[in-house]
Amino acid sequence: MVDLDTSHPKAWLPILRSLGHEVIGVYDGGTVYPPGYAEHFASENSIDRVFESLDEMAEVVDMAMIHSVNWDLHLERARPFVHAEKALFIDKPMAGNRRDLEQLLEWESQGMRITGGSALRYCNEVSNWLNEHDPFSEFVFAMAGCSTDEFNYGIHAYSLMHGLLGSGMESVRYLGSSMQQQIEIAWEDGRKGLISVGATKGYLPFYATVVTENDVSHFQVDNNQLYRPMLETVLPYLAGETQAPVPLQSLIEIELAAIAARRSWQKDGRRIFLKDIPLDEPGYDGMRFAKAYR
């Protein structure tokens, strides 16, 4: 586990172990916690090794999970494992700009096993809805949302929508704000969904409403059952046993949609096509967010 910034490393440990995987070491770059925290974390959680360098870690492990809350560090943290040809899981948001996302795709094209993102993409509520509905047939409209912020947490809402409607996000349009920001996402086949993200006075759960010609489904995601479905889905791929559950080219649509939303609200609601986001678009500032998070 690389960078222990968030609650995820500790929350995922028992699940990883129950699925038959061994967490052999940790590394922490100090973005959030002071020197010595990695040693404390390892001792508290029965992990044998604290690595001083990622190059050393990459020689030993089969895969790495990168949890850096500063998403602008994700590529820097990933490179030693890419050079060592080790699998990578990159926690949400995988990257805050198109340039970094394209680098992940390039590494994948070279044979690297890379996945990541939000657990909302694989949550039980999404699976249950898909078991009972065809998202390409008789679909009318969908809405998803959450609170806290537009990207680090807001990415969960985009991921939830992508899980329900699948690949093919084509364009994004900022519609305006009513406490939160409302974002319209259009798919290549014409389907549309609405995202509502941003800070609110109180905490809002992850939620979605999906309308078909036959019924209306509304659900709130059970946070207590959030991580296991994702880890059960992605770990066989990272272990080299299966194909990617969601191709990386499809998965990065989620971050690209959020980046396009930022560009749209900066341009007074202009529709932004994901394919037209420039490589030099600054996107979301990971360092700035990490300082506030700390």
pLDDT tens, position by position, 126-143: 999 999 999 998 999 999
- The pLDDT, as a whole number, for residue 56 is 98
- The pLDDT, as a whole number, for residue 213 is 95
Q: Based on the domain organization, do 97 and 128 belong to the same domain? A: no
How many C-alpha atoms does 43 have within 13 Å on its Cβ side?
A: 5
Q: Based on the domain organization, do 199 and 105 belong to the same domain? A: no
Find the mean pLDDT for residues 34-51. Answer: 98
In a domain, 288, yes or no: no
Q: Based on the domain organization, do 128 and 204 belong to the same domain? A: yes
Distance between first and last Cα of the chain: 19
Q: Based on the domain organization, do 100 and 165 belong to the same domain? A: no
In a domain, 13, yes or no: yes
Model confidence at 46, pLDDT cuts 50, 70, 90, reads very high
Q: Based on the domain organization, do 101 and 195 belong to the same domain? A: no
Give residues with Cβ within 8 angstroms of 33, minimum separation 6: 4, 5
Model confidence at 2, pLDDT cuts 50, 70, 90, reads very high
Q: Based on the domain organization, do 70 and 35 belong to the same domain? A: yes
Q: Based on the domain organization, do 134 and 110 belong to the same domain? A: no
Q: Based on the domain organization, do 143 and 236 belong to the same domain? A: no
Tell me how far CA of residue 192 lies from CA of 145, 181, 183, 197, in angstroms.
15, 16, 10, 17
Backbone φ, ψ for residue 182 (5° rounding)? -105, 130
Q: Based on the domain organization, do 172 and 261 belong to the same domain? A: yes
Find the mean pLDDT for residues 66-93. Answer: 98
Q: What percent of the chain has pLDDT over 90?
A: 99
Q: Cα separation of 216 and 141, whole Å?
A: 10
Find the mean pLDDT for residues 170-175. Answer: 98
- The pLDDT, as a whole number, for residue 196 is 98
- The pLDDT, as a whole number, for residue 287 is 98
In a domain, 291, yes or no: no
Give tens-digit pLDDT for 179-203: 999 999 999 999 999 999 999 999 9
Q: Based on the domain organization, do 96 and 174 belong to the same domain? A: no
Q: Based on the domain organization, do 177 and 266 belong to the same domain? A: yes
- The pLDDT, as a whole number, for residue 13 is 98
**65: domain range?**
8-118+227-244
In a domain, 294, yes or no: no
- The pLDDT, as a whole number, for residue 188 is 98
- The pLDDT, as a whole number, for residue 266 is 96
Per residue in 102-128, is it b (16+ CB within 10 Å) or e — as a string?
A: ebbeebbeeebbbbbbbbbbbbebbee
Q: Cα separation of 109 and 107, whole Å?
A: 5
Cβ atoms within 10 Å, residue 198: 22
- The pLDDT, as a whole number, for residue 288 is 98
Q: What is the mean pLDDT of the chain?
A: 97
Model confidence at 210, pLDDT cuts 50, 70, 90, reads very high
In a domain, 179, yes or no: yes
- The pLDDT, as a whole number, for residue 158 is 98
Q: Based on the domain organization, do 38 and 154 belong to the same domain? A: no
Give tens-digit pLDDT for 227-286: 999 999 999 999 999 999 999 999 999 999 999 999 999 999 999 999 999 999 999 999
Please tell me the total count of domains within the chain.
2
In a domain, 287, yes or no: no
In a domain, 249, yes or no: no
CATH code of the domain containing 19: 3.40.50.720
- The pLDDT, as a whole number, for residue 254 is 98
- The pLDDT, as a whole number, for residue 248 is 98
CATH code of the domain containing 216: 3.30.360.10
